[in-house]
Amino acid sequence: MTSLTHRLMRLHAWTVQKPILALVRHTGVLRVLFTVNAVIGNKTPPGLRLKAIDLNGRPGMICGTDAPTPNGTTLYLHGGAFVIGNLRGYRHLVARLAQAAGTRGVFLDYRLAPEHPFPAALDDAEAAWRALSDDPDAGPLTLAGDSAGGNLALALLQRIIAKGLVLPHGVAVLCPVTDLRLENPSLAKNRKTDPLVSTRWGARGVAAYLAGADPAQPDASPILGDFTGGPPVLIHTDRGEVLHDDACLMADRLRHQGVDVTLTKEAGLYHVWHLNVGRTVEAGRSVAQIGAFLSDAVTRGRS
């Protein structure tokens, strides 16, 4: 059974957040509401320290605590259906994940749709990756992202492999959307059981991001990419979320290409429950697992 706090957060998602996402069509309003929700609901870790960093012209932020960082740097790409999401909503997760991994957590403020459609966000992620790869103080690199940011992390990974850039030691994606053709069965099957994600909102975000571009290309739908020779990948999903099949089919694709994949399927949680870290034991446990995975990946890469 899940904790009482988690059940209350899940109820809030179902009764407040999901209806707002479904009904509010103005992106600017949604961005304000996202920030308000973060201010009210997110738990700032003790000793949080923020330091601005330039990532080849894109703004980033180092999110950390006093914890040591022997395992290099983790680049984090946030979610939000490609149209919302900001530092205020993610600084706590980036800092706690980095603390668990023993890394320096870097949040990328990539450009959002509809003002900046595909492939602007992915181009920003590649630029940030190149900046960190050239930084002598970055140390070993790892990569993480959630939801739309999970899409960007995997799309970036296949770009890194194709272009021969510095490989991450490990990649962790949380409830990723991996197929922007929006054809996977769980989108319909779990539509009424997903406590948070409105498929109407998700489809609007994808349409704004693509702006007419073909979703059947690896930069948009990483499930179509070539990951041969890629690093270990951790994927988290909940069985009741609409993106469950995106996660599972992506894991199958990676395994077929010889990638070491760990797929964790939870039940009774909801889309990117990790954002409740500091509030619920479920989120804390999952973030600790991600941290251990990235730390182990760095250790194996060094050996």
CATH number of the domain where residue 213 is located = 3.40.50.1820
Q: Are strands 104-108 and 58-64 parallel, antiparallel or unpaired?
A: antiparallel
Closest CA to 295 of 139, 148, 145, 177: 139
Our count of domains for the chain comes to 1
Report in angstroms the alpha-carbon separations of 2 from 7, 233, 238, 267, 269: 7, 26, 13, 9, 8
Overall average pLDDT of the 115-132 stretch: 98
Q: How much is the pLDDT for 1?
A: 87
- pLDDT tens for 35-93 read 999 999 999 999 999 999 999 999 999 999 999 999 999 999 999 999 999 999 999 99
Confidence of residue 286 (pLDDT cuts 50, 70, 90): very high
Q: How much is the pLDDT for 303?
A: 78
Question: What average pLDDT does the chain have?
Answer: 97
Overall average pLDDT of the 283-295 stretch: 98
Q: How much is the pLDDT for 222?
A: 98
Confidence of residue 260 (pLDDT cuts 50, 70, 90): very high
Overall average pLDDT of the 172-201 stretch: 97
Confidence of residue 206 (pLDDT cuts 50, 70, 90): very high
Confidence of residue 302 (pLDDT cuts 50, 70, 90): confident
Q: SS in 3 state form for 214-277?
A: CCCCCCCCHHHCCCCCCCCEEEEEECCCCCHHHHHHHHHHHHHCCCCEEEEEECCCCCCHHHHC
Is 133 tagged catalytic?
no
Query: Quick one: angle between helices 120-134 and 148-163, nearest 10?
Result: 60
Domain region containing 36: 4-302
- pLDDT tens for 154-170 read 999 999 999 999 999 99
Q: Are strands 171-174 and 49-55 parallel, antiparallel or unpaired?
A: unpaired
Report which DSSP code applies to 148.
H
CA 289: distance to chain centroid? 15
Q: How much is the pLDDT for 268?
A: 96
Overall average pLDDT of the 250-277 stretch: 98
- For residue 33, give the 3-state DSSP assignment: helix
Alpha helices by DSSP H, listed for the chain, are 4-12, 18-23, 27-41, 87-101, 120-134, 148-163, 186-189, 199-210, 244-256, 281-302
Overall average pLDDT of the 242-266 stretch: 98
Q: Which candidate in 3, 147, 295, 303 is catalytic?
A: 147
In whole angstroms, what is the distance from residue 271 CA to residue 201 CA?
14
